[in-house]
């Protein structure tokens, strides 16, 4: 058996030491094991990012292949991400099929970190399209449901606008094991409440690309803030959501029902800060991705920065931010053995120094950064 004991730092949510054996977190014992000095830093569960469009100069829409998935994962591992969903934004269904088959092949080949796919569209509402190409939008029908339900291994997350779908169609996806989130939606408050009751368990990038909160029309944002159980993604770069809105959100509902997401584009982990998105030129300006009209088009955010930002901007503790980066997305996706440092959990770990920058990353007990 291979084992390692972490000492000399804080195990966030778990005390001052941690033992891993054969790629799993082990119960404390008298077992002799080599020690690893955290040098006064922090050991956290590895970050789980449910929305990764690209990284390392690669955009998944442009290159839905195993090689692209591996490159994207490698770029994000440097920033503590040990599990992720390659994310395909609205595209034709043959492209969706290609992306799903690539994810299956990547998981079966043991590509580090990939745990499924996020299909962000094309079942969205044009008034809330954001940077999506509305010409790709379509209705959810039986053929699409069959395709979305076809992933053989891993998790499938689908972002859709519930007001454009039939309740029975959403229910069919849920029965097939698909995780459904509301996003790029112009639903009313009542429509959002009904969607949550009908099987929608997540909200993609809260506040962004959805009907906003108003005192007479609470919209999707208001329905999400009121709800105590759905998981809400947050892009904590200070630009997608103002820090004041972050604070309002985390003080309005259970903090363990928020998930940090990057919505990352190819610039993360790459020296290049421009790319093409479905024929449009996108540039990274002041840390955000924008098209020529100034419309936000994903982010240049990594998970380690998102974690630091939540502590600095939203006033949450490091332990609370860690839950948002790990335990909450694991629970949302149904990854029972990830996101925590409890005995039996996978030893997916991130080591941060005192300034909360990444010093090391382990996946399944093997150091990869």
State the catalytic residues: 263
CA angle in degrees (0–180, nearest 5) for 81-248-198? 70
**Beta carbons of 264 and 120 less than 8 angstroms apart:** no
DSSP, collapsed to helix, strand or coil, labels residue 362 as: strand
**Beta carbons of 320 and 328 less than 8 angstroms apart:** no
**Paired residues of 54 in beta bridges:** 59
Alpha-carbon distance 53 to 58, whole Å?
9
Alpha-carbon distance 165 to 53, whole Å?
24
Q: Name the nearest CA neighbour of 231 among 273, 198, 182.
A: 182
Length of the chain: 369
| DSSP label of 109 | T
**Beta carbons of 177 and 265 less than 8 angstroms apart:** no
In angstroms, how far is CA 240 from the centroid of its own chain? 15
Alpha-carbon distance 32 to 238, whole Å?
45
Alpha-carbon distance 264 to 81, whole Å?
12
What do you get for the CA distance between the two ends of the chain, in Å? Answer: 22
- Give whole-number Cα distances, 39 to 18, 114, 153, 340, in Å: 14, 30, 39, 22
Alpha-carbon distance 306 to 356, whole Å?
11
Task: Give the pairing of strands 35-37 and 58-59.
Answer: unpaired
């Amino acid at each position: 058996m291979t084992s390692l004991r972490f000492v000399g730092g804080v195990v966030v949510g778990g005390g001052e030491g941690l033992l891993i054996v054969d790629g799993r977190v082990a119960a404390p014992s008298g077992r002799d094991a080599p020690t690893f000095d955290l040098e006064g830093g922090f050991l956290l569960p590895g970050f789980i990012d449910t929305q990764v469009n690209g990284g390392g100069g690669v955009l998944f829409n442009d290159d839905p292949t195993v090689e692209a998935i591996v490159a994207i994962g490698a770029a994000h591992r440097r920033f503590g991400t040990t599990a992720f969903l390659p994310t395909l934004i609205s595209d034709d269904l043959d492209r969706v099929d290609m992306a799903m088959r690539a994810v299956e092949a990547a998981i079966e080949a043991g590509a580090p970190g990939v745990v499924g796919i996020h299909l962000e569209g094309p079942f969205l509402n044009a008034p809330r399209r954001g940077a999506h190409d509305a010409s790709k939008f379509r209705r959810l029908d039986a053929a699409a449901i069959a395709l979305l339900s076809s992933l053989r291994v891993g998790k499938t997350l689908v972002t859709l606008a519930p007001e454009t779908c039939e309740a029975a169609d959403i229910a069919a996806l849920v029965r097939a094991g698909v995780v459904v989130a509301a996003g790029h939606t112009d639903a009313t408050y009542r429509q959002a409440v009904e969607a949550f009751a009908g099987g929608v368990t997540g909200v993609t990038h809260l506040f962004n690309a959805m009907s906003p909160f108003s005192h007479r029309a609470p919209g999707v944002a208001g329905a999400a803030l009121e709800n105590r159980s759905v998981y809400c993604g947050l892009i904590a770069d200070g630009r997608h959501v103002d820090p004041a809105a972050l604070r309002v959100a985390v003080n309005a509902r259970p903090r363990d029902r928020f998930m940090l997401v990057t919505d990352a584009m190819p610039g993360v982990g790459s020296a290049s800060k421009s790319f093409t998105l479905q024929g449009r030129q996108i540039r990274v300006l002041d840390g955000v991705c924008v098209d020529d009209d100034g419309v936000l088009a994903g982010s240049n955010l990594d998970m380690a920065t998102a974690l630091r930002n939540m502590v600095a901007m939203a006033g949450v503790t490091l332990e609370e931010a860690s839950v948002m980066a790990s335990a909450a997305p694991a629970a949302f996706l149904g990854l029972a053995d990830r996101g925590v440092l409890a005995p039996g959990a996978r030893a997916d770990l991130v080591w941060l120094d005192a300034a909360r920058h990444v010093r090391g990353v382990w996946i399944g007990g093997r150091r990869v950064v």
